[in-house]
Amino acid sequence: MRIPFACLLLFSATVLSQDASITPRYRKFIEQHVNGRMSVDRCDSVIGSRGISKTNSNECKETNTFIQATTNHIKAICEQAGEPYGDMTKSLQPFPIIVCTLKNQQGRLPHCQYRGQARTRRIAIKCEQGFPVHFERDIIHFEN
C-alpha cells in the first residue's frame, strides 16, 4: 500500500513541476487573449481592467486580439486540433475573434481607446509543452 502512495506522490510532484514552468506564460496568454464573452464595444474596458499594455511599459498596445472560446478549445490547438505553421501551430478550424485596434496613438494606460472588429479566422499560436503561450496572428482562410 505504501509503494503506490509513494508513486502517486512522485507522479504529482512531476506533473506540478512541469506545470509550474509553463503556468505563468499560459496564464498571461489567457489574460491577454481569451474572453468567451468579448464584444466589439468592450475593448477599452476589458483591456483596461486586465492592464494589457506594451511589454514592460504603460504604453497602449497597438492591437490586441481576444479569442471567443474556452481555454480547453484553444489548448486543443496545441494537441490534436492544430497543424504546424512555421514555428507556430495553426488551428484547423476558425474561431470567432475580436480584434481591438488602438485609436489614440501614443496613448498611455488607463486612457487607451480601441476600435473593435469581429472576425472569424483560423489562428496561429505558439505552444510550449502542450499549452498556448503566445498569440501570433489570425489567418484568412479561403476554402476551395
**pLDDT tens, 80-135?**
999 999 999 999 999 999 999 999 988 898 899 999 999 999 999 999 999 999 99
pTM (2 d.p.): 0.82
Check: CATH 3.30.1120.130 for 22-139? no
Q: Please give the backbone phi and psi of residue 136, each rounded to the nearest 5 degrees, phi first.
A: -90, -55
Catalytic residue from among 73, 111, 134, 141: 134
Q: In the predicted model, what is the mean pLDDT of residues 43-59?
A: 94
73 assigned to active site: no
Please report the pLDDT score of residue 106 as a whole number.
84
141 assigned to active site: no
Task: Round to the nearest angstrom and report the end-to-end CA distance of the chain.
Answer: 60
Catalytic residue from among 33, 73, 111, 141: 33
